Amino acid sequence: MECNAANTWRGLVELIFPPRCFSCGEKMNEDNTISPGTVTLFPEPVEGSAGVTIKTFCRTCLDQFRFLTSPLCPVCGYPYADKTGESHICQTCLLFPPPFTAARSLASYEGILQDVLHRFKYGGDTHTGEALGELMAQFAWPLFAIKDYSMVVPVPLHVKKLRERGFNQALILSRVIAKHHRLKLDYLSLKRIKPTPPQTTLGKYARQDNIIGAFDITHPEKLKQEKIILVDDVYTTGSTIMECAEVLKKAGVAAIAVLTMARALP
């Protein structure tokens, strides 16, 4: 009864104030709203989840996303340019196995997605962040299943950066994913203990040196034997993700996967 009343109220609000695309601002209607099940990238939502229809970006804007689908490396998630081949482990993961079992990014860090991520992260538009989190929650991740994991952990910010920005973008994405899939959320056990220069100002090897020793676990007993999904906004060189995964692994986590909204590609 309560669910029906909530749906009726939501429908009335959307009739008076139609949702708009988070990129172009166009009104979302039946013509440009994507319903899960009609597009393979967004299948039917999990049973009991809150998501029923994707009302974040219109079809025109969503068509401009470069979604990262198979074929790709099943470990690091790097997409192959030749779309006629099959997924296989890349040479880097064969020679230097990462501390996580799988890493996936929803789309390439470019164009519309880059613009809205900047607006979210640096402009304080947390409403857009929640919309991006909903896309991540409903995306059909290639060769990966969120249901196989038990807990969501966001990449943390140092307390100084958190005060400056006012929010942790990874936590906003994590909350939506955890709620949608009914997973546990832990944003306190993994801590950033060392303030470091922004990674965006550094090259690949400088990023690796910059992030060493920046993270620690405050409550390892809460994470022991959990299967964790580590969430961040952008996968650039993977330095931050790798360091977080190493720390989690030492704490006794059973498995670690990585989900990011975007990935920086050549």
The pLDDT tens digits of the residues spanning 25-62 come to 887 766 555 555 445 687 655 454 444 456 678 888 88
Q: What is the pLDDT of residue 202?
A: 55
Percent of all residues in the chain with a pLDDT value above 70, rounded to a whole number: 79
Q: What is the pLDDT of residue 209?
A: 61
Q: Measured between alpha carbons, how far is 173 from 175 in angstroms, rounded to an integer? A: 6
Q: What is the pLDDT of residue 7?
A: 46
Q: Do 190 and 247 contact (CB within 8 A), yes or no?
A: yes
Average pLDDT value over all residues in the chain = 85
Q: Do 94 and 250 contact (CB within 8 A), yes or no?
A: no
Task: Name the DSSP class of 155.
Answer: P
Confidence of residue 175 (pLDDT cuts 50, 70, 90): very high
Sign of the torsion formed by the C-alpha atoms of 243, 88, 66 and 180: negative
Q: What is the pLDDT of residue 144?
A: 96
Confidence of residue 180 (pLDDT cuts 50, 70, 90): very high
Half-sphere exposure of 120 (CA within 13 A, CB side): 26
Q: Do 131 and 42 contact (CB within 8 A), yes or no?
A: no
What architecture does CATH give domain 66-263?
3-Layer(aba) Sandwich (3.40)
Q: Measured between alpha carbons, how far is 193 from 200 in angstroms, rounded to an integer? A: 19
Mean pLDDT for the stretch of residues 188-193: 94
The bridge status of strand 151-154 relative to strand 227-235 is parallel
Mean pLDDT for the stretch of residues 202-207: 59
Mean pLDDT for the stretch of residues 145-162: 95
Confidence of residue 110 (pLDDT cuts 50, 70, 90): very high
pLDDT digits (tens, 9 = 90+) for 207-224: 666 678 889 999 899 999
pLDDT digits (tens, 9 = 90+) for 55-96: 678 888 888 899 999 999 999 999 999 988 999 999 999 999
Q: What is the pLDDT of residue 213?
A: 86
Q: What is the pLDDT of residue 1?
A: 47
Q: How do the domains of the chain map onto residue ranges?
A: 66-263
Neighbours of 3 (CB within 10 A): 7
Q: What is the pLDDT of residue 18?
A: 67
| The two three-digit tokens of residue 83, written as one number | 């779309």
User: If 0-12 CB within 10 Å is exposed, 13-18 middle and 19+ buried, where does residue 143 land?
Assistant: middle
CA distances from 88 to 61, 77, 97, 107 (A): 31, 10, 14, 19
pLDDT digits (tens, 9 = 90+) for 222-261: 999 999 999 999 999 999 999 999 999 999 999 999 999 9
| Relative orientation angle of helices 126-138 and 169-181, to the nearest 10 degrees | 40
User: If 0-12 CB within 10 Å is exposed, 13-18 middle and 19+ buried, where does residue 81 land?
Assistant: exposed
Helix (H) or strand (E) holding 126: helix 126-138
